[in-house]
Amino acid sequence: MKISRRELKALIVEVLMQEAKKVDYKKVYKKYHSSTKAKKERAQRNAARRKIEKAGIEIPDGYEVDHKNPISNGGSNDMSNLRIIPMLKNRRDGQTVTTKKRKKNGSY
């Protein structure tokens, strides 16, 4: 039986998709998001957004409130530490900070 490259690619993708491990979101939440520390940091991020909105500053779609000095590094929700930046930049920068921390403490 002869098979074309296109058919072979489709077959490989299908097999890989079937083997892809399903994520147990309850387990992930319990491990990463339900800890006391995670809840406290999430509450501080939500408070920062409310503070910006109370000040009458509109946050456009696709933008987020960012902490210049992250909460995890001892930053505060003071207006001088907050800024509004594009969501993609915020997520990218946050991932960079997290990766550096993990490399530093040996968990990455």
Would residue 85 count as lying in a domain? yes
- Would you say residue 78 lies in a domain? yes
Q: Are 71 and 100 spatial neighbours (Cβ–Cβ below 8 Å)? A: no
Question: Is residue 108, in this structure, part of any structural domain at all?
Answer: no
> Is 65 exposed, middle or buried, given 0-12, 13-18 or 19+ CB atoms closer than 10 A?
buried
Q: How many domains does the chain have?
A: 1
In a domain, 20, yes or no: no
pLDDT tens for the chain, 108 residues long, are 678 888 888 888 887 777 666 777 788 778 777 888 888 888 888 999 999 999 999 999 999 998 888 887 888 889 999 999 998 888 887 767 666 766 676 654
Q: Residue 13's pLDDT is what?
A: 82
Determine, yes or no, domain membership for 11. Answer: no
CB of 48 within 8 A of CB of 77? yes
What's residue 108's pLDDT? 47
Alpha carbon distance 29, 24 (integer Å): 9
Residue 51 lies in a domain: yes
Comparing CA positions, the residue from 108, 87, 91 lying closest to residue 99 is 108
pLDDT of residue 53: 92
In-domain check, residue 88? yes
The answer to whether the beta carbons of residues 57 and 45 sit under 8 Å apart is: no
Residue 52 lies in a domain: yes
Q: Which domain holds residue 91?
A: 35-101
